[in-house]
Structure 1
Amino acid sequence: MRATTGGVTEPSSAPEEALPDENFKPEQLKFQDIVSLWVTQILQTYGGKESKDNAPVCEGVIDDLVGGPIFLALYPYFRRYGGVFKLAFGPKVFMVLSDPVIVREVLKEKPFSFDKGVLAEILEPIMGQGLIPAPYAVWKNRRRQLVPGFHKAWLDHMVGLFGHCSNELVRNLDKSAEDGEVVDMEERFCSVSLDIIGLAVFNYDFGSVTKESPIISAVYNCLQEAAHRSTFYFPYWNIPFATDIVPRQREFKQNMKIINETLNGLIQKAQKFEGTEDLEELQNRDYSKVKDPSLLRFLVDIRGADVTDSQLRDDLMTMLIAGHETTAAVLTWGLFCLMQNPELMKRIQADIDEVMGDDDRTPTYDDIQKLESVRLCIAEALRLYPEPPILIRRCLEDVTLPKGAGDAEVTLIKGMDIFISVWNLHRSPECWENPEEFDPFRFKRPFANPGVKDWAGYNPELFTGLYPNEVASDFAFIPFGAGARKCIGDQFAMLEATIAMAMVLRRYDFELTTDPKDIGMTMGATIHTEKGLPEMIATREEMRDAKLDIGYRDFCAHLLIPLNECRRKSFFLPWKCEHERHVYEKCQYKEYMKRVAAMKASKE
C-alpha cells in the first residue's frame, strides 16, 4: 500500500471533467413516460411481447418487500440470474445491478442519465432537497458549497474531537465493566457517532452517550419511518390528512417538528455572528483557536447573506442522518466480525498497542496512518455490511449497458427504477476470493477474474488513501458510492470509525452474550442488528492487573476477577466466596454448553 503522506487527504470527489457544463440539463420524466413504461413491462412480463430491455425476468413475491430486508432477498436471485436482472412485482419493475462493469457505467460514465427516483420521494419529507435526494440542479449548487467545508485544516481538527467523544464512550464502558453489565454496543456506537456529528456539524452537544434527549429519539423514529416507507407498496402517507389521522404518521409529524425546531434554533444562533466570506482564509484558519469550529459555522460564513434557513436545514438534516448512521453501523458490524475471530482481534489489539504505546492518549492523524490493520477492518466490515446495502436510481433516458460478466446486452428503459445491490456486489464470488469470510488483509492482495469482461480486478497498488475505494477495485467495492454523486464525507467517516474502534479495542476485550446466528439483520437507513449487539466486557488492563492467565481471559473473565479477589481476602477458605464461585461456574457452564452445541452443529 502506498500511504498518503503529510496531512489528511482531501475528500474524494468526482474529477472536474466528469461534471457537465453550466448549460447542461438532464432529461425530465413526463407522466406519459411512466405510463408507457408500465404498459411495456406488463406486456413484456405477462403478455408475451418481445423484450425491449433484454434482461432476464424474476417474478418477486410480496415477502421480498415486507418479509425482511430486501437486500437479503436479492442475493439468491443474483446467484441464479447474474449481475443484471429484472425483478417484477405486477406492473412495478426494478432492474437489479450487481456487476462492477455495469455499476461503473451507471455511477461514473453516465451519472446524469439517472436521478435518485424512489429514494428522493422517500427522503424528501425528511431531508428536503439536501445533497442525497436533491435533483441535479439543486445537487450541483449544494455540492459546490458543501465540499469545501470538508477541507484539510477542519478534518485535522476533527481528529481531536473524535478522540474526545470516544473518550466519553470509554468512560461509560468503564462503569459498565465495573458493574458487570451486559452492554449493547450497537446502541453505544450510535450514541457516540451522534455526539460526534452534533459537535462537528452543529457545535451542539447531544450528550447521548450519557443521556437521551427528545431530538435523539425523534431522529431514530424518523429513520424508522423512512425505512417503513421504502418497503411499503402503497404511499398511503400522501393521502390528504393521513398525517393527522394515522397514528404512526402523527408521530412522524411530531418528530419532524422537534428536529426542525432544534435545527432552526442552531441555524439562527450561528447567523447572529458575523464571519469572513473568504474561502481561502476559512480553509487556512487555526481551528484549535476557533470558538465554534462546526461545519454549520463554515457554511454560514461562506454563504453570507445569500443563505436561506431552508437550505441550511436541508443540508444539516442530511448530514445528521447520513453522518451518524453509517459510522455506527460499520463499528457495530466490525466488532461483531472481530468477536467471532479472537485470534484476529488479538492481532489488531497488538497493532494498536504498538502504535499507541503505553500513553493514555487519543490517536493523532499520524497514528491513524499507522493503524492500517484497524482501517482494513473498517473497510472489510463495509464490504460485508455495506451502508447502505442498496443504491437507488431512476433512468432518465434509454441506456445500453456493457455485458460485464453476462452474455446479454441489456438496455435500461427511460423511467425504469434501478437497484444497485451493493450487498451483492461486495459478496460476489466473481469479484472476491472467499467473499463470505471476514478477511481484512484481502485488501493487500491483488485479485483478477478474466471472466468479468472489461473489469480490471482489484489492485492494491491503487490503494492510496485511508481505505481501498472504487478506483482500486474498479467499482467492485463502493462503500461510499462512486462517481460524481459519491458521499463527500467518506474521509470524515473513516477517521471517526478508525479512532473509535482503536480506542475501544485498546482497552477492552469483548464477547457476545448470544449466538451470532441470533443477532439478525434489519434495514433502516443502514443495516442494523435485529436485537442489538449484547456483550460482556472486561478491560484488558483489569485482566492484566488481576494477573489472569491467557487461558482464562474469556467471556467469564469479568466474573473470575472478583472471585479471585474474594479468595485472596478469605485466605482461600473453601466455604467462603460461594456466591462469587456459583456465578462464575454458571457462566463457565453456559459457555461449555454453547461450545458443545456449536460442535454438534458443525458435524450435522
Structure 2
Amino acid sequence: MLETLISLLVNLLLVACGALVLLYVAGTWNYDFFSRRGIPSTRPRWPFAGDFLATFQGRSFVDVVGDLYARGRGQGLFGVFELSARPLLMVRDPELIKVIAVKEFDSFVNHRSFASEKNDPIMGRNLFNLKDQTWKDLRSTMSPAFTTSKIKTMMPLISQCAAQFTATLREKYLSSEEGALEKPLESNMKDVFTRLTNDMIATAAFGVTTDSLKDPDNDFYTQGQRVTNFNPTYLFAYFTFPKLAEFLGLRIMDEESSNFFHNLVHGTMSERQKRGIVRPDMLHMLMQAREGRLTVEKQDAAEDERARGSATKLTDNDITALSLIFFLGGLDTVSVALSFAAVVLAHHPDVQRRLQAEIDDVWEEADGPPTYEAVHKMKYLDAVVSEVLRMYPPAFATDRICQKDITLPAGAMSKPASIKKGTNVQFPIICLQNDPDYWSEPEKFDPERFNDENKHKIKPYTYIPFGLGPRLCIGQRFALLELKVALGHLLRGFALLPSPRTAFPVEWAVGGAGISPKGGFWCGLAPRAH
C-alpha cells in the first residue's frame, strides 16, 4: 500500500514537472525571435510576461519604455517583447524610421487594430483603425477637409469657444473664495482643458454649441467622456489577440454612445438639408464629400499632395466615424498637451511673460481676438507649443505592421535586417524626442530650439509628435490651431502659477494608456489686468 502511494506521488510529481517544463517552453519558445535574425534584443526573465511586466508592479508605462529604449542604446533596431511575449521591434535610428514610414511605406501601411468593424461598426471605421486600400480611399476622401483653407474657416468657431472659456473661468474666479481674497484659483487643468476641447470639437465637428464649464454634465460632454475612456482590457485584447477579441464580441465603444453620436450626426444632417443650413464646420464638409462637392484649392493641393478629393462614397457609419476622428484625435490629446503647457509655463515664468507679451501685442494690434493669419505668425507661441510637444507628446509611441518580408538597409547603428511579415514595429516618439544623442539637454524646457535660427538643426525624424509619412495625423493642423488659440486666450486673461499638488520636474503617473504626472495637472490661475 505504501509503495503504491509513493509510486502515485512520484508519478504526480513527474507529471507536474513535465507540465511546468511544457509551460515554460510554451512561454519562452519565441524569446529568440530577434536573435535568430541577428537583431539585438532583450531576454525577458519570465515566461509569457515579456518586458512590460513592471507596468503592473508600480512603474509607469513611459518609464518602462524608456528603460527598454536605453537598453538598446547604440542600436538602430532593438527587439523587445510585449506582455503576451509577442515580438515588438523598437526602431531607434531616424534613418530607418524614414525608410519604414516613408520610403518603404507600402510594406508598412497599417497600424494594429484596436476595434472590430463587425462588433463596433462606428469605431471600426475610424481612420486610424482602417487598413490597406480601404484606408487609402477614405484618407483620400477626407484629406481636403483638413487642409489649411478648410481649417481656417473653423477659426471663428474655435476662437469663440476659447473666449467663452476664458470668460467663464473669470466668472468662477470672481465668485470663489480665492477670488474674494485675491488669491490664485487652483485648478485641475486637465479637467478644465478637456471641457474646452470638448466644446471646440462639438462646434467645429458636430455643429453643437456647449459650455462645459457652466454645464458640466451636458450630454455631449458626458458621452464624449464615455467614448474616449477606453476599457484598457479590451484594448489589450485587440492589440494582442484580435481574432479572439472579435469572436468574444468586445466593443471599444458601447452601444449607447454609438447610438448617441449616430443619431446626433444624422439628425443634424437631416435638419440642415431640410432647412438649407450651411455652417463652416466638419459636418458640412463631410456632407459635401458625400455628394462629391468637396473641392480642393490650388494652394492646398500644393502643400499636401494627399488632398486629392473624393476616392470613395461615404456611408452613414463613415460620416459618424470620421466626425469622431475629432474626438479621438483631438479631445484627450489636445487637452493633455494644453495641460502640460500650463504646468511647464507655470514653472517657467520668464517664458510665460515673453509669450504673454507676444499675445498682448497681437491682440492689441487686432483690437480683439486675432485672425487665423495672425495666430499663424506668432513665432514664439509656435516655438513654445513645439517644445511642449517635444517633451510631452500625447501620442508617446506609434506603430506599423510589416505587410511583407523585407530587408531593411544598414543604418547608422545597424546592419541590414530581415523583417518578417506580421512583425509589429514601434517608433518610441517620447524617447526619440528626449534622446541626448539628438537633443542638447533634452530635460530642459527650451523653446529656442524651434526658433528660425535653430529649427533647421533638428535631426530629421527625431521630432514626430503627430507621426510621419502618409499616415501622419490627418488632424495635425486642427490640433495645432486648438492649442495655439486656447493658450492665447488663456494667457491673455490669466497668469499661471505653480501648485504644490503637481511636482516639477514631472514624475510619471502609474497606470493608464497615456502620459500624465503624478497627482494630476494642477496650476494656480490669477486674472491679469488689461
Secondary structure of the residue aligned to 2:36 is: coil
Q: Is this contact kept in 2: 1:214–1:258, CA < 8 A?
A: no
2:348 to 341, 344, 360: 341
For residue 57 of structure 1, what is the aligned residue in structure 2?
A: 42
- Indicate which of 479, 482, 485 corresponds to 1:493: 479
Aligned amino acid, residue 492 of structure 2? R
Seen in structure 2, the aligned counterparts of structure 1 residues 304 and 94 have a Cα distance that, compared at 3 Å, is same
| Aligned residue number for residue 165 of structure 2 | 169
Question: Which residue of 2 is the match for residue 562 of structure 1?
Answer: none
Q: Deviations over 1:292-347 (max 9, x none)?
A: 22211221123129532111122122222112222211111111111111111111
- The equivalent residue for 1:85 is 78
Matched, 1:295 2:282: yes
Partner SS for 1:57: coil
1:240-272 CA-to-partner distances (Å, cap 9, x unmatched) read: 7776xxxxx8xx76x442343233332243145
Give the residue type in structure 1 aligned to 2:79.
Answer: K
Distance 2:484 2:343 in 1: 15
Measured after TM superposition, the shift of residue 474 of structure 1 is: 1.6
Taking structure 1 as reference, are residues 217 and 344 closer, same or farther at Cα in structure 2, changes over 3 Å only? same
Q: Which moved more, 1:377-386 or 1:219-228?
A: 219-228
Corresponding residue SS for 2:162: helix
Q: Secondary structure at the match of 1:516?
A: coil
Provide the residue aligned with 2:224 in structure 1: 219
Residue 164 of structure 1 deviates from its aligned partner by 0.5
Matched-pair contact (CA < 8 Å) for 1:219–1:321: no
Query: Counterparts of 1:130 and 1:74 in 2: how far apart (Å)?
Result: 27
Q: Is the 8 A contact 1:300 1:307 kept in 2?
A: no
1:349 and 1:491, CA in 2 relative to 1: closer, same or farther beyond 3 A?
A: same
Q: For each residue in 1:531-582, what CA deviation from the matched residue of structure 2 results, as whole angstroms up to 9, or x when unmatched? A: 43222211121xx8xxxxxxxxxxxxxxxxxxxxxxxxxxxxxxxxxxxxxx
CA spacing shift, 1:365–1:62, aligned 2, 3 Å: closer
CA RMSD of aligned residues (A): 3.3
**8 Å contact 2:161–2:200 — kept in the other structure?**
yes
Q: Alpha-carbon deviation of 1:512?
A: 2.8
Match of 2:462 among 476, 480, 489: 476
Contact 2:508 2:515 in 1 (8 A): no
**CA–CA distance in structure 1, aligned partners of residues 263 and 369 of structure 2:** 33
CA distance in 2, matches of 1:84, 1:219: 38
User: 1:369–1:241: structure 2 CA closer, same or farther, 3 Å change rule?
Assistant: closer
Q: Secondary structure at the match of 1:197?
A: helix
Q: Retained in 2: the 8 A contact 1:325–1:526?
A: no
Q: CA deviation at 1:152?
A: 4.1
State the partner residue of 2:333.
326
Deviations 1:399-438 (A, max 9, x none): 3334444143333221111221001111111211111111
Change (3 A) 1:502 1:117: closer
Aligned counterparts of 2:43 and 2:385: Cα–Cα separation in 1: 34
Is contact 1:195–1:208 with CA below 8 Å preserved after alignment? yes
Q: Distance in 1 between matches of 2:347 and 2:473?
A: 30
Residue 520 (structure 2) aligned to one of 506, 516, 532? 532
Cα displacement (A) at 1:291: 3.7
Letter in 2 for 1:109: K
Q: Are 2:117 and 1:113 equivalent residues in the alignment?
A: no
Report the equivalent of 1:371: 378
SS at match of 1:328: helix
The within-5 A match list for 1:419-430 is: 419-430=426-437
2:456 equivalent among 453, 456, 459: 459
Select the residue among 357, 360, 379 that pairs with 1:353: 360
Letter in 2 for 1:102: L
Contact 2:400-2:425 within 8 A present in 1 as well: yes
Amino acid at match of 1:270: M
Verify: 1:94 aligned to 2:125, yes or no.
no
> Following the alignment from structure 2 to structure 1, what is the Cα–Cα distance between the partners of residues 527 and 365?
15
Partner Cα separation in structure 2 for residue 375 and residue 538 of structure 1: 24
The structure-2 alpha-carbon separation of the partners of 1:215 and 1:161, relative to structure 1 and needing over 3 Å to count, comes to closer
Tell me the residue number matched to 2:499.
Answer: 513
Matched, 1:200 2:199: no
- Among candidates 425, 431, 435, match of residue 418 of structure 1: 425
How far apart in 2 are the matches of 1:54 and 1:72?
23
1:556-575 maps to which residues of 2 (within 5 A)? Answer: none
Aligned residues: 461
Residues 1:313 and 2:320 aligned together:
yes
- Given that 1:98 and 1:422 are in contact with CA atoms closer than 8 Å, whether structure 2 keeps it comes out as no
Please tell me the residue identity of whatever aligns with 1:459. H
Matched residues in 2 for 1:407 and 1:396: separation? 22
Contact residue 223 and residue 525 of structure 1 kept, 8 A: no
Letter in 1 for 2:416: E
* Per-residue deviation, 1:202: 1.1
Offset, 1:524: 5.5
Tell me: CA distance 1:198–1:529, structure 2 relative to 1, closer, same or farther (3 Å).
farther
Q: 1:195: Cα distance to partner?
A: 0.9
How far apart in 1 are the matches of 2:78 and 2:507? 30
- Which letter does structure 2 place at the counterpart of 1:130? N
The one-letter code of the counterpart of 1:357 is E
Normalised by the size of structure 2, how large is the TM-score?
A: 0.78
One-letter amino acid of the counterpart of residue 217, structure 1:
T
In structure 2, what is the Cα distance between the partners aligned to 1:504 and 1:358?
18
Cα distance change of structure 1 residues 523 and 311 upon mapping to structure 2, 3 Å threshold:
farther
Alpha-carbon distance between aligned partners in 2 of 1:524 and 1:148, rounded to the nearest angstrom: 34
Check the 8 A contact 2:97/2:461 in 1, yes or no. Answer: yes
Q: Deviations over 1:458-503 (max 9, x none)?
A: 626xxxxxxxxxxx74211111111111112211111221111011
